[in-house]
Structure 1
Amino acid sequence: MNYVAVGLGGVIGALLRYAVSVTFSQMTAPFPLGTIVVNLVGSFLLAFLTTKWFVHQGKTSPLMLGVGTGMIGSFTTFSTFSVELVELVEQNMLGLAFLYCVISLFGGAFLTYVGYKVGRRKLI
Structure 2
Amino acid sequence: MPEPLRPVDSDVDVRAPVDRAETRPSPLPVLGAIAAGGVCGALARYGISVALPHAPAGFPWSTFLTNVSGCLLIGVLMTLLDQVWAGRRLIRPFWGVGVLGGYTTFSTHIIEIHTAMRAGAPGVALAYLAATLVAALTAVWVGTVATDQVLARRRREGRRRR
TM-score, normalised with respect to structure 2: 0.71
Of structures 1 and 2, the larger Rg is shown by 2
Equivalent-residue separation in structure 2 for 1:75 and 1:58 (angstroms): 23
Residue by residue over 1:38-94, the C-alpha shift from the partner in whole angstroms, topping out at 9 and shown as x without a partner, is: 000000001111211211133352022101110000100011000000111111201
Structure 1 position 49 matched with structure 2 position 86: no
Residue type matched to 2:63 in 1? T
Q: Which runs of 5+ in 2 are unaligned?
A: 1-28, 155-162
Structure 1 position 38 matched with structure 2 position 66: yes
**1:14 touches 1:75 (CA, 8 Å); kept in 2?**
yes
Q: Which runs of 5+ in 1 are unaligned?
A: none
Q: Indicate which of 62, 69, 82 corresponds to 2:110.
A: 82
- Give every structure 1 segment of 4 or more consecutive aligned residues whose post-TM-superposition deviation is greater than 6 Å: none
Greater helix proportion: 1
Q: More relative contact order in 1 or in 2 (CA 8 Å, sep 6+)?
A: 1
Q: What is the aligned-residue identity percentage?
A: 29
1:16 is displaced (CA, Å) by: 0.3
Equivalent-residue separation in structure 1 for 2:85 and 2:91 (angstroms): 12
Q: Indicate which of 12, 31, 38 corresponds to 1:3.
A: 31
Structure 1 position 106 matched with structure 2 position 134: yes
Equivalent pairs counted in the alignment come to 122
